[in-house]
Amino acid sequence: MKYTEKIHAKRLLGMLNKKNPCLCCPQERHYGINEHNDDMPWQEDGDGDDACHICMEFVNTKQTDWKWCPCLILGEKEAIKRTWIALEEKGYI
C-alpha cells in the first residue's frame, strides 16, 4: 500500500490526540517514534522514506541532514501549528 497524503492526514489526526505528539510518527504503528518498522503495509516498496517526504512537504519543510521529524527542524510549537494549519487548508478538518 502506498503512503499517501490522505493516509498521512488521517494518521496525523490520531497522532495529535496523544498527550505529547511531538516526535511521534504518523506512519508508525501506535504513532511511535520514527523507527521505520518493517511491519507497516505502506513500506512494501522501501524503508518508509516516501512517508517522510510526504510529512515534510505537508508542513512545507525540507529535510535537513538526519532530521526527518518536523519537530526537530521547526521546534515543537511551530511543527504542531503548521500541521493544524495544513490540515485545515487541505480540507482534512
Distance CA 83, CA 65 (A): 21
In which residue are the cell numbers 532530521 written?
67
Nearest to 3 by CA among 49, 42, 36: 42
- Which residue blocks in 1-93 are alpha helix, DSSP H? 5-15, 49-58, 70-74, 76-89
For 23-65, the pLDDT digits (tens) are 888 888 888 775 555 556 665 555 556 778 888 889 988 766 5
Higher pLDDT, 82 or 65: 82
With a cut of 90, say whether residue 11 has pLDDT above it.
Answer: yes
- The residue behind cell 527542524 is 73
Q: Which residue has the higher pLDDT, 14 or 23?
A: 14
Distance CA 28, CA 12 (A): 11
